[in-house]
Chain A
Amino acid sequence: MSASNETAPDHVDEERRDFIHIAAIAATAGGAGLVAYPFIDQMNAAGDTKAASSLEVDISKIPLGGEIRVLIGGKPFFLRHRTPEEIAAAVNTDASKMPDPETDEERLMPLPDGTFNPAILVTSGACTHLGCVPVGPAQGSVGDYGGWYCPCHGSHYDTSGRIRKGPAPKNLPVPDYEWVTPALVKISL
């Protein structure tokens, strides 16, 4: 185009040119990838956020028939002290007919000695439909199955936190928790 052609070489080494193009583009692409990685990774959970993602809860303070709610990393969890009637209702219902079949024992974690404490149920506090926090005994409504009721779209959970009626597809998930002592559970995200 506008370049002067007076000094144009009579021979152009196309292969050499291709090599330079490929090498330059490869180096640029590699560099761009290496730069992009930290800029994407920085939006992941930071070290201090991760460090705050577990909590030890003393269960001896939970009143019989009541629950306490805790936040771990901003997410709600329920720890419910079930009455013998509630435990019986949870154990004696045939789980195979439920939308998300799970027995009550599958929803408990063993104590250090391998036994279970069915009086304490630990579940996530986020409805599996769209993430609202269901109401429970302290809010005056436990739904048709004695567990929890989600006011957003009317999901009913039983005393084992299993979905029984309404739009939610799954049971309230059981978080990753362990019994540190018979009175202390450690819940992790």
Chain B
Amino acid sequence: MSGHESTYKPETGFTKWLDSRLPIIRLAHDSFVDFPTPKNLNYWYTFGGILSVCLAIQIITGVVLAMHYTADINQAFGSVERIMRDVPFGWLIRNIHMVGASMFFLAVYVHMFRGLYYGSYKAPREVLWLLGCVIYLLMMATAFLGYMLPWGQMSLHGANVIINLFGAIPLVGESIQSWLMGGPSVGNQTLQRFFSLHYLLPFMIAGVVILHIWALHVPGNNNPTGVEVQDVKKDTVPFHPYYTVKDGFAIVVFLIIFAVFVFYAPNVLGHADNYVEANPLVTPAHIVPEWYLLPFYAILRAITFNIGPMDAKLLGVIAMFGSIAVLFLLPWLDTSKVKSMRYRPVAKQFFMVFVVVCLLLGWCGASNPDNAIISMGEDKLVVNYTDAAGLEGTRVFEEYTPAAQFRDEQQTSGGVASIAIEKAPAFTFKILSQILTAYYFAFFLIILPFLGLRERPKGEPDSIHQSILGHDAPAAAPAE
């Protein structure tokens, strides 16, 4: 915390010598040992620590995998299979890396929803939040680049779809697209640059993480009450041992869940299609991104209409990128003076709905947009026919057998007939994802800006210390 005086006292000759030249032990001491931390942080606040562990795991396993991987379209798939079969413990290290990507996103989403709920993006932590958004963007880019490397069917066609998004940009879209691919299609040159960037970006993430922690340590942690620290003595405890132990415990629990996936279900979060080597001539029947990008994919596909000169493709891309861009604006969109939604009874409800909306968007992203969620009526069979006399007509059937019988009768008597399915009107995933997309944007652009002006906050405590007394001992002795 800024203004917090350093309590580090070098004791040996060497540490004194070092401290006057490079006070690195002092920095570590003041940042992670004697850093005053609000004493009311709950387990939602352990995800920052969990995320640093995730990043370290991904970098270490990734460096190892790069020792065995070959970035060449003729050898990439085989080299990954070699890692799985021949490299000692290659299967384990690749499974950790693969599951690690999912666990990383799981943790980052909890971390982001935490920040959203407790208002951690508000003054004086706007820059902290923005840096977090940058990390999130870099994570998505890294995950996308990494998904291409095994050169399976999903790798190739997923990359193709994402790069095609850039083609929607007016005027320069196609040029950008072929610049990204380094040619007319996703090919060897694309794989090589993706590998290079996939190796680079995690180190950029690590760099921004350092800035993120720096920006955290200037104002200090937010906390579940959203009330700033007023009295360091009463409101805070030192980071070590209180939060090293609490974070450590959370990390252990998280790693147990992680290990369950690695050892029992390493492929459950992926797609079987990616174990088929890439074939540029055949796109898999059902192409979807990894689960952590599904909500954005749903937003992309929700826009199926043109507005003025802008076609649906461009609007979809704008909506998708806008759904991330809006996060960067959040500190200035939320007008409420109260940080924590614990004391914002109305905002809290809208927030809960928002969480559900995000999950449902994920469900929509995984589903075929034309599939029915609620069907209104039955699908019907329509036989279109031209009879022997040359007269055209249609007849509608409920069951297949009579429909087929009628078609065969027409055909044997010299006519032409065919059966088609007429879908019953239904509430489809497309409609649901349009409603959810509307709520997603409304939450940030309408609800948070206006609610902050109208809502009456309730029960905000005067201090962190007081909020804890209120919890445990309602009849506590008068303070001091």
Contacts and interface: CB of A to CB of B under 8 A. Distances in A.
Contacts of B238: 1-3
Contact of A46 (B64, B87, B236, B237): B87
B90 A46 contact: yes
Interface in B85-140: 85-90, 92-93
Contact of A2 (B36, B68, B87): B36
Nearest to B36: A2
A4 B234 CA distance: 6
A129 B126 CA distance: 65
Given A39-B93, A46-B82, A2 B88 contact: no
A41 B233 contact: no
B82 A48 contact: yes
Given A44-B88, A46-B82, A48-B86, A39 B234 contact: no
A42 B7 contact: no
Nearest to A39: B64
A1 B34 contact: yes
A124 to B, nearest CB: 26
Interface string A119-143: 0000000000000000000000000
Interface in B203-233: 232-233
Interface size bracket, B side: 20 to 34
B89 A2 contact: no
Contact of A38 (B7, B36, B68, B89): B89
A41 B64 CA distance: 11
Nearest to B232: A2
Interface string B44-85: 000000000000000010001001100000000000001001
Contacts of B68: 42, 46
Given A1-B7, A49-B86, A42 B93 contact: yes
Contacts of B234: 4
B480 to A, nearest CB: 9
A27 to B, nearest CB: 9
Interface in A1-59: 1-4, 37-39, 41-44, 46-49
Contacts of B232: 2
B303 to A, nearest CB: 46
B86 A47 contact: yes
Contacts of B34: 1-2
Contacts of A43: 67
Interface size bracket, A side: 10 to 19
Interface string B5-16: 001000000000
Interface in B308-327: none
A38 B92 CA distance: 8
Contacts of A4: 39, 233-234, 237, 465
Contacts of B36: 2
Nearest to B64: A42
A49 B67 CA distance: 14
Among A3, A37, A39, A42, the most chain B Cβ lie within 10 Å of the Cβ of A42
A83 B86 CA distance: 44
A2 B92 contact: no
Among A4, A43, A49, the most chain B Cβ lie within 10 Å of the Cβ of A4
Among B86, B232, B238, the most chain A Cβ lie within 10 Å of the Cβ of B86
Contacts of B242: 3
A38 B88 contact: yes
A48 B92 CA distance: 17
A42 B87 contact: yes
Contact of A47 (B39, B60, B85, B465): B85
Contacts of A48: 82, 85-86
Contacts of B90: 42, 46
A48 B85 CA distance: 9
Question: Which 4 A-B residue pairs are closest in the complex by CB-CB distance?
Answer: A38-B89, A47-B86, A46-B86, A48-B86
Interface of B: 7, 34, 36, 39, 60, 64, 67-68, 82, 85-90, 92-93, 232-234, 236-238, 242, 465
Interface of A: 1-4, 37-39, 41-44, 46-49
23 contacts: A2-B34, A2-B36, A2-B236, A2-B238, A3-B237, A3-B242, A4-B39, A4-B234, A38-B88, A38-B89, A38-B93, A39-B64, A42-B68, A42-B87, A42-B93, A44-B88, A46-B68, A46-B82, A46-B90, A47-B85, A47-B86, A47-B87, A48-B86
Given A2-B34, A42-B88, A46-B68, 18 more contacts: A1-B7, A1-B34, A2-B232, A4-B39, A4-B234, A37-B89, A39-B60, A41-B88, A42-B64, A42-B67, A42-B68, A42-B90, A42-B93, A43-B67, A46-B86, A47-B85, A48-B85, A48-B86
